[in-house]
């Protein structure tokens, strides 16, 4: 049986064959594409299916695991996304059935998993999360994705809406925070974290921004690390590319309050969700 891992976002899809031998995961036939999800349901499904087909190739016996952002009825593959603009035409529809019809397969051959949950599942199985009995996974980017692992169970944590300081967690742990902090404290307009690396950007100011972000991350994580008795934290997302600039300050926060926790940066990057999305089929089958 061939496993196909799929990671779908608001404007992007990636798919690949996932092979798990019981110890290591192998990714082949990786394909990706930008998708305009402001269009009709039929057009969106057609674009997604086109990419998935490339990874399937000539294989006849396959299962498809899909990592998808919420809100979603994951067991039934029904989209509940309606307020974000993107994918609005799919609201209330069974994406599982629509994809199965387009690909001419049994709907039961398709499984849906929350994208943050798939990320932590993939890293726990074959990447940076190995060895942690209890852990937290965060994806830091435009938004904040989160999942928790307690022993063998991984679940979407939905921490982006968690009350934090004067707002919610996503206000302080996403790209928008960097923009706001740079402008309010230094009068500088930036489009994202990458701007802090430009040669003409004052690196002393950049260091101060990263220092504050690192401390903020530590403050946010500390409550959940203690409450869930986590041994580790796994970080993914585009902001983590700057981990060497802010993680020392996160560790400093933990050390100040004597929190013995290990923080690891994603080893699998975009492959993590592809692997994690296939876990429902990996756990039901022999190594593929």
What is the average pLDDT across 147-156?
Answer: 96
Q: What is the distance, to the nearest Å, from the Cα of residue 162 to the centroid of all Cα atoms in its chain? A: 17
pLDDT of 23: 87
What is the average pLDDT across 162-176?
Answer: 96
pLDDT tens sequence across 271-282: 999 999 999 998
Extract the tokens encoding 46.
């057609």
Q: Which residues pair with 64 in a beta bridge?
A: 4, 110
Please state whether the peptide bond connecting residue 71 to the residue before it is cis, i.e. omega within 30 degrees of 0.
Answer: yes
Judge whether 141 and 174 are in contact, CB under 8 Å: yes
**C-alpha angle 27/32/38, rounded to 5°?**
140
pLDDT band at 283 (very low <50, low <70, confident <90, very high): low
The reply to whether domains 2-118+273-282 and 130-265 share a CATH topology is: yes
Give buried/exposed letters for 223-246 (b at 16+ CB in 10 A, else e): ebbeeeebebbbbbbebbebbebb
What is the average pLDDT across 35-49?
Answer: 96
**Is the pLDDT reported for residue 288 higher than 50?**
no
Give buried/exposed letters for 50-65 (b at 16+ CB in 10 A, else e): ebbeebbeeeeebbbb
* Domain parsing of the chain, residue ranges: 2-118+273-282, 130-265
**Nearest partner of 210 among 225, 223, 195, 222, judged by Cα:** 195
pLDDT band at 59 (very low <50, low <70, confident <90, very high): confident
pLDDT tens sequence across 187-223: 999 999 999 999 889 999 999 999 999 999 999 999 9
**Is the pLDDT reported for residue 8 higher than 90?**
yes
CATH top-level class for 130-265? alpha beta
**Nearest partner of 280 among 20, 13, 8, 32, judged by Cα:** 20
**Is the pLDDT reported for residue 65 higher than 60?**
yes
CATH number of 2-118+273-282: 3.30.420.40
pLDDT tens sequence across 69-118: 989 999 999 999 987 778 999 999 999 999 999 999 999 999 999 999 99
């Amino acid at each position: 049986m061939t496993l196909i891992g799929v990671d779908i976002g608001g404007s992007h899809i990636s798919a690949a064959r996932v092979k798990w031998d019981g110890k290591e995961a192998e990714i082949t036939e990786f394909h990706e594409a930008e998708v305009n999800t402001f269009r009709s349901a039929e057009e969106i499904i057609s674009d997604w299916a086109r990419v998935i087909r490339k990874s399937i190739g000539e294989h006849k016996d396959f299962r498809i695991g899909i990592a998808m952002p919420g809100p979603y009825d994951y067991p039934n593959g029904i989209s509940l996304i309606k307020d974000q603009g993107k994918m609005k035409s799919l609201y209330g529809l069974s994406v599982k059935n629509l994809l199965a019809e387009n690909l001419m397969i049994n709907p039961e051959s398709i499984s849906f998993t929350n994208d943050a949950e798939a990320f932590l599942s993939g890293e726990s199985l074959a990447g940076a999360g190995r060895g942690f009995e209890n852990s937290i996974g965060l994806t830091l980017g435009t938004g904040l994705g989160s999942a928790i692992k307690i022993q063998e169970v991984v679940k979407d944590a939905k921490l982006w809406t968690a009350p934090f300081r004067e707002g919610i967690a996503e206000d302080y742990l996403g790209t928008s925070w960097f923009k706001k902090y740079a402008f309010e404290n230094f009068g500088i307009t930036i489009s994202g974290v990458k701007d802090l690396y430009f040669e003409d950007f004052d690196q002393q100011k950049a260091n101060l921004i990263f220092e504050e972000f690192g401390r903020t991350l530590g403050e946010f994580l500390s409550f959940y690390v203690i409450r869930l008795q986590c041994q580790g934290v796994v970080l993914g997302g585009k902001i983590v590319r700057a981990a060497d600039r802010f993680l020392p300050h996160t560790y400093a926060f933990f050390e100040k309050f004597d929190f013995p926790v290990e923080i690891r940066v994603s080893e699998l990057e975009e492959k993590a969700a592809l692997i994690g999305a296939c876990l429902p089929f990996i756990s039901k089958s022999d190594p593929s």
